Homo-oligomer: A and B are copies of this chain.
Amino acid sequence: MLRLGIIGCGGIAMLHTDNILGGKCPEISVTAVADPRESRREWAKAKYPEAQVFTEGRELIASKPCDAVLIATPHYLHPPLAVEAFEHGLHVMSEKPAGVYTLQVREMIAAADRHPELTFGLMYNQRTNWIYRKAKELLDNGELGTMKRMNWIITDWYRTQCYYDAGSWRATWDGEGGGVLLNQCPHQLDLLQWICGLPVRVRAFTHEGKWHHIEVEDDVTAYLEFENGATGVFIASTGDAPGVNRLEILGTRGRILIENEQILFERNSADEREWCFTDKRPFGTPETEEIRLVSDGGNGQHAEVLNAFAGHILRGEPLIADGREGIRGLTLSNAMHLSGWTNETVDIPFDEQRFLSLLNERRARSVKKQETDIAMDTAGSFGRKS
């Protein structure tokens, strides 16, 4: 049995709690919780009457009433709390994103590396979705050939102004550190690099407060270039209604299209790169076979990530996502911000110190919103996609 402490009792902790108390995580027992807000501590006491309750995450870590912590706080706090936990000999599962800026996440990784005996996981629950696993498999095993293009339109993150008004830290540079890239899209940015690899170059167009009264970006279009010359487009917004979640990846041997929780594989009769130079008809195109791929049944989401985390700690079983991989999606996110802020094309790796300086300029100008105290029920917001 893994004794878990939950730091931060907002919306995502409610979802984990439903899974844990609902019997989906049989090897996990919540023995501690922490939250600075009275109302959330009350909620936690009601849910976990046996658990120790703390105001601060650091207190929870210091008193060690658990073997591992689940960090579910605002993003800026993930790295310092993770570092603290590692130093106290606790395993760490962090919510996404790993942090707000890569320099901060490098400290988190360094701490994890100083403690190889401890497990470090990231809540990349979308990696459990069979659709994305299948896409990765088709690229990894060569069935799709070499990647030529990818387009991800991920705009089904619609949020009303009321969403942004409900959290004082949310959608501010100082409180959250970003908008749609940092709050809604970490999963897609992770999946993008996991499936397609990390781009080597990014040109992004970020629009701040375009659809809402907020400081941070709620609309992003990014152009990507990969090492092999493949290109990509990534479009995200919290202002589109109706929104879209459509990922297509073109390879030399075919194309996959992921939309509406389905994955279609159009398989070419030949590798296009050979075909182009051997077919003698000007308009000749390889024949394609349409294959509607079917699920292997696996899509365990948050519970699966937590169970793998427990399995890793208890029996050395594989994680869904090693925490060290969290920096890759954040690298892409930071590069997009940097490109949008500077109106420049940004090579990856980018100047991480420059990013931090520009972020800090924004933090210095950031305006804290009026405090509210609503624990938002996020279940409807990412039943499948988050």
Chain A interface residues toward B at CB < 8 A: 148-149, 151, 153, 155, 158-163, 166, 203, 205, 207, 210-212, 219, 221, 223, 225, 229, 231, 233, 235, 237, 239-242, 244, 248, 250, 254-255, 266, 268, 272, 275-277, 279-286, 288, 343, 345, 376, 378, 380-381
Given A223-B205, A345-B343, A281 and B160 touching (CB < 8 A)?
yes
Chain B minimum-CB-distance residue to A253: B241
Report B-chain residues with C-beta under 8 Å of the C-beta of A149: 155, 235, 237, 240
Q: Which of B159, B210, B241, B288 contacts A282 (CB 8 A)?
A: B159
Q: Are A283 and B158 in contact (CB under 8 A)?
A: yes
Copies of this chain, tallied across the complex: 2
Q: With A166-B282, A241-B285 given, can you name 12 additional A-B contacts, CB distance below 8 Å?
A: A148-B240, A151-B235, A155-B250, A158-B283, A158-B285, A161-B276, A162-B280, A212-B276, A219-B231, A221-B231, A239-B272, A241-B275
> Which of A155, A160, A244, A288 has most chain B Cβ within 10 Å?
A160
User: Chain A binding site: helix, strand, loop or mixed by DSSP?
Assistant: mixed
Report B-chain residues with C-beta under 8 Å of the C-beta of A237: 149
Chain B minimum-CB-distance residue to A165: B282
Q: Are B242 and A285 in contact (CB under 8 A)?
A: yes
Report B-chain residues with C-beta under 8 Å of the C-beta of A345: 343
Chain B minimum-CB-distance residue to A241: B272
Report the bound CA distance from A160 to B280 in whole Å. Answer: 8
Q: Are A254 and B276 in contact (CB under 8 A)?
A: no
A357 CB, nearest partner CB in chain B, Å? 24
